[in-house]
Structure 1
Amino acid sequence: MATRSPKAAAAATPATTATKPAKGVRVRPVPAVTRSIAILRLLGEQKQPLALKTVAQALDLVPSTCLHILRVLVAEDLVTVDPTTKRYALGTGMISLARSVLEGGGFTQLVQPVLDRMAGQFGVTAMGVEITARQTVLVLAISQSNQPFRVHTDVGSQFDTLVSATGRLIAAYSGESWPVLKAQFAQVVWDQAPTFTAWKKEVELTRERGWALDRDNFMAGITVVAVPVLSSGGRLVNTLVAVGLTSQLGAARVQQMAQVMQREAAELSALLVGPGA
């Protein structure tokens, strides 16, 4: 995974994108829920409040329907409305929801000391990410090194499905056919795009060794290493990610870091699964 800005990430994950259910699970559409989520995502992507007309047009909603949904979201403190300008923005209720996720235990709490160790030992920016139901990459926790150069991203940033090193892990563990992966690969934005043939070989290597590498592809001058944190059924649910300058991460250093990250990931997996699982 690389570290594009939240603005770039938002562009890669439009508000109207539907949730991708797990394989074999039939999800019946619930339009009111889908539209509500789309509105929240849209407001979250913007840097300024939006008028009703703007929201409705952006999401192709009937204005009256959009207004009814916005009123409910305002009543639940998830959205605020300026009574003078009649413009809408995310409300403070979103903060309490986000805090509940981040402080609710599980991966987010367990991974932080791991990230701190990684950042301190290797001088990298270390991240714990989640592979969402929509198969996007969501940053849940970060630890920065004390190096003069630091790669910046924010908790809550989202990235494309097959982006960078975590994207190679997703491809390796997805079980998808190569034609499907090729179509998804074509949508990824790179600084220095690899050919699909080269990327395919890297995905196959990722399957063999159990960790992924992106060197200068998604962001020039940046090397990214990612290792999987698996569920009890072997499903990819989270990854540990290390990001640093390519000039400071030679092959031997990357190999050493990947081995340490694999040990940390295995311990995390065991803690998350629990005893006797």
Structure 2
Amino acid sequence: MRLVKGLLERCLELIELLAVNAQWRRMSEIADALGLQKGPAHRLLHEMAALGWVEQDADTERYRLTLKLALLGQQYLRGTGLSGLVQPILDKAAGQCHEFVALTVVQGNALHWFTSSQGAPPGLMYQPSLSGRAMLYTTANGKVWLSTMSDEEAIRLALKNGLGRSAREGEAVGPRALRTVDEMLRELAATRARGYGVADEEAARGVRAIAVAVRAFDDQRVVATMSVAGPLLRMDPARDQELSALLQQTASTLGMVWPRNGPPQEVLA
């Protein structure tokens, strides 16, 4: 049973890795990212290809996901109706604040970027490419989610997510990111006190964001987080009260329409 669980975890780790940026990757790069020797990595890729989840380019011998995951995800989301429910609500919020609004969903011990809406006019516009998991200790979304937990659980997840180590390629870690457990504990206390998370050049240079938790109306469990982000030039702290009020109002609306049976907990990474 232990061997089966290990294999399943490796398969899921491979899918999550290849889902980032949807790019072709060398087998050696995949092996390094998964902490595997080349032999086991090759066997894993071979099996996943045989099952139709992975494909290999005949010329470059690099690997990427097939469309199987994307098609299953689309089919699943159509069934939940979640996209149709939340997108108009996010679009309205983005139109009111004239900034970039993003939504994550809670899945297990992680936050996954789900959808977004751009409300900023052309010109000085913040438009990130959001995919996969949100960084927990550098993003406003991650901080506000961690603040809903005990300090012990929040620190455990932050350390697992990378707090205290050097940033890896592709991770959203800005010049002012938190580095230590003590800094994280102080930030958790401040987030709880103000009621929203703040990331000031912590996920990206020149960008500031604030975020709130989204709670399901029926049982008040945290199902998602949503944020407003934009260039420092426009995201002055003086706007925090205005923006946090908008986010809280929008989060309340999302909580009331959120499907009761929990499909957001099951969205594909």
Q: Same fold (TM over 0.5)?
A: yes
| 2:234 equivalent to 1:256 | no
Aligned partner of 1:222 among 186, 204, 207 = 207
Provide the residue aligned with 1:203 in structure 2. 188
Distance (Å, rounded) in 2 between the aligned partners of 1:244 and 1:54: 33
Alignment of 1:83-162 (within 5 A): 83=58, 86-105=61-80, 107-135=82-110, 137-147=111-121, 148-162=123-137
- Give the TM-score of the pair, scaled to structure 2: 0.75
Distance 1:29 1:206, change over 3 A: farther
In structure 1, runs of 5+ residues without a counterpart are 1-26
Percent identity over paired residues? 22
| Amino acid in structure 1 at the alignment position of 2:135 | D
Distance (Å, rounded) in 2 between the aligned partners of 1:243 and 1:87: 35
Distance (Å, rounded) in 2 between the aligned partners of 1:79 and 1:143: 31
Number of positions where the alignment pairs a residue of Structure 1 with one of Structure 2 = 247
Per the TM alignment, residue 175 of structure 1 is displaced from its structure 2 partner at its CA by: 1.3
Distance (Å, rounded) in 1 between the aligned partners of 2:52 and 2:4: 25
Per the TM alignment, residue 93 of structure 1 is displaced from its structure 2 partner at its CA by: 1.1
| 2:160 equivalent to 1:186 | no
Distance 1:42 1:156, change over 3 A: closer
Per the TM alignment, residue 107 of structure 1 is displaced from its structure 2 partner at its CA by: 4.3
Q: Is the 8 A contact 1:192 1:216 kept in 2?
A: yes
Aligned partner of 1:269 among 241, 255, 259 = 255
Secondary structure of 1:152 counterpart: coil
| Amino acid in structure 2 at the alignment position of 1:203 | L
In structure 2, runs of 5+ residues without a counterpart are 168-172, 262-269
Out of 57-66 and 106-115, give the one that drifted further. Answer: 57-66
Distance 1:110 1:132, change over 3 A: same
Q: Cα RMSD over matched residues?
A: 3.4
Q: Is the 8 A contact 2:213 2:251 kept in 1?
A: yes
Per the TM alignment, residue 101 of structure 1 is displaced from its structure 2 partner at its CA by: 4.6
Cα distance per residue 1:11-30 (max 9 Å; x no partner): xxxxxxxxxxxxxxxx9961
